Each structure stands twice: as C-alpha cells, then as structure tokens.
Structure 1
Amino acid sequence: MERYWKVGDLSRMTGLTVRTLRFYDQIGLFSPSAQTDTGHRLYNERDLSRLTQIMSLKELGISLEEIKSIVGGKQISPLEIVNLQMTRIKEQIQVQQKLLEQLQHVSKLMQGKAPLEVEDFTQLLLAMKTVHEKPVIQQRTSWEYRLDVLGEVLGEEKEATQSEED
C-alpha cells in the first residue's frame, strides 16, 4: 500500500515551511499526487523524491523558474547542472575579484596619503553596484511574480464572492 503524507508532515520532514510548499504548488513547481476528500494535499514517495531534487537544485543557486524547467521535463543531466553552477560561481568570483582590485587601489591611495580622484570613487562604486545589482534584480523579479500570483488569487476570490452573492 502506498504511503502518503500531509503538507504539515512533509514540512516537518524537509524543513520547508507549509507556506513554501503551497507556493511551490501554486507556481506549478511541486504539486501533490493526491488530495483528501476535504481537499488536503497528500504527497507520496515519488513526490518526496522530486522535492529532494528541487531542494538540491535550489541549494545550487538555481532559480525556481530554471528548476521548474529542469524537473518539468526539459532533459538536463546532473553534469549539466554541475557545469551551470560552476559557470555561476566563476562569474561571481570575477565580480568579487574586480571589487577587491578596486578596494585595494583605493586603500593604497589612502595609505600613501594621495588624493583620491572622483574617478577612483566612481570605479569603486561601479564595482560595488555590480556585486549587489544582480541579487536585487532577482529579488524584484521574484516579488513581481508573487504579486501577480496574489493578484490572480484575489481576483478569483472576488469573482467567487460576487458569484455567490448573485
């Protein structure tokens, strides 16, 4: 007989919040295999295996959209995932190296009591901006998506309420 877990059980087992699991279901990333008569989500062993894969990919820094693509049928090998992560890490190292070089340059100027030019600060600020810009853009995109989903849910609830009143 197949074994099933409710969302709360799965949450305790994985360390993910119930809210996260519901969000994954909402965006079509991870949905339960079954439901109770009262609508409670039920997950089986295959679901648990898929969730483990999703969590592993997330740990590698892969975005939810990319993970959805990977687990949703787009064939990608474990080697390709590792190569993707190595490429991302190399990019991060390059950005950090540029920032380090700029900081070292400004430090040398300050230690030598040389006057700092506007260009020195501009280059440093650009290097710092690059380090922080990508995560901010990713966060903004994530929030925009979540707000769109929330808007759809609220719109559906409003329509349902209006239908009940009619």
Structure 2
Amino acid sequence: MGQHWKVGDLAKLTGLTVRTLRFYDQIGLFSPSDQTDSGHRLYNESDLSRLQQILSLKELGLSLDEVKSLLDGGQISALEIVNLQMARIKEQIKQQQQLLEQLQHVSKSIQVKAPLTVEDFTGLLQAMKKSHDKLIIERRTSWEHRLDALGNFIVKEHEGTQSEGDKS
C-alpha cells in the first residue's frame, strides 16, 4: 500500500494552506483519492502528481478554471507541463543573466574609475526594465485572475441568495 497524507499533512508538505486544498476539492480541481472511515481526506502519490501539475500551470499564469479545463480535458500532458515550466525558467535565467552582465560591466567601470557612457546606463536600464516589466506583468495577471475568481464567487453567492429568496 502506498503512502497517504491527510489534508493537514499535505498542506505542510507542499506549503499550501488547508483552506486552499479544501477549496480545490470544493471546485473539483483537486480531490482526494480516498478518505478515512471518519471522513478525513486522504491523498496519495498520484494526487501529488496532479497537484504539481496544477501549481505548475498556475505559476504559468493560468486561472484555476483554465487549469481545470486543461487537466480534465486531457489537453496537456505532465511532460508538456514540465517542459513549459522549464522554458519559463530558462527565459527568467536568461533575463537575469543579461542584467547580471550589465551590472558586472558597470561595476568594473566604476572600480577602475572609467567614465560610464550613455550606452552603459541605457544597457543597464534596459536590462532592469525588462526584468521589472516581466515581474509586473506576472503580478498583474495573477491579480486579474484573483479578481475574476472573486467576482465569480460573488455572482454565484448573489445568485444563490436570490434563489433562496424565490423559494420563500
């Protein structure tokens, strides 16, 4: 028999909150494969694989609805997800390497008391801007997805409240 984790143990293992794992279960994105006799969620190793895929796709900027659709529809394999994540990290490394090279060039010029040229400053500023812009875009996309999810939740809650009012 393989290893199983309760929701609290899985939360500690992954760094996610119990609330997040329960929410994923509630929306049908990530459900436990088993449960104890007393009803506690039990996750196994294949569940961990799905969770890794979910988190990888989220990190790539996809909304939870998009992640669910991709995984449930079998439109993307675990290998494709890993390859996408590797490509993203390689691009980040490339950008950081460019910034590092510009900083090293400016540092050497300052150490030998050589005058810094306009090209030195513009190269450094461009590398910094590229790195900064990428971070800002990722944060904005993340916030947009969160706001969309909140908006959808509010609409569903409002519709649920109206339905209950109609029954009265």
Question: Once the two structures are aligned, what percentage of the paired residues are identical?
Answer: 56
**Displacement, 1:155?**
2.0
Q: Is 1:10 matched up with 2:7?
A: yes
Deviates more, 1:98-107 or 1:22-31: 22-31
Question: CA-to-partner distance for each residue in 1:82-117, whole Å, 9 max, x for gaps?
Answer: 544443333223212211111112112212223323
Corresponding position of 1:88: 88
Corresponding position of 1:73: 74
> Matched residues in 1 for 2:116 and 2:101: separation?
15
Q: Could you list the runs of 5+ residues in structure 2 that have no partner in the other structure? A: none
Question: CA-to-partner distance for each residue in 1:14-66, whole Å, 9 max, x for gaps?
Answer: 4231222144346653245799xxxxx97455xx4443013434369953738
Contact 2:7 2:42 in 1 (8 A): no
Contact 1:106 1:116 in 2 (8 A): yes
**Displacement, 1:163?**
4.1
Corresponding position of 2:138: 138
SS of the counterpart of 2:124?
helix
Corresponding position of 1:38: none
Q: 1:76 to 1:33 in 2, by over 3 A?
A: closer
- The root-mean-square deviation of aligned C-alpha atoms, in Å, is 3.7
> RCO (CA 8 Å, sep 6+): is it higher in 1 or 2?
2
**Displacement, 1:150?**
1.0
> Matched residues in 2 for 1:61 and 1:109: separation?
41
Corresponding position of 1:53: 49
- The TM-score, its normalising length taken from structure 1, stands at 0.66
Contact 1:21 1:30 in 2 (8 A): yes
Contact 1:32 1:42 in 2 (8 A): no
**Displacement, 1:121?**
2.2
Q: Could you list the runs of 5+ residues in structure 1 that have no partner in the other structure? A: 36-40
> Matched residues in 2 for 1:30 and 1:64: separation?
18
Q: 1:21 to 1:95 in 2, by over 3 A?
A: same
SS of the counterpart of 1:133?
helix
Q: How many residues align?
A: 152
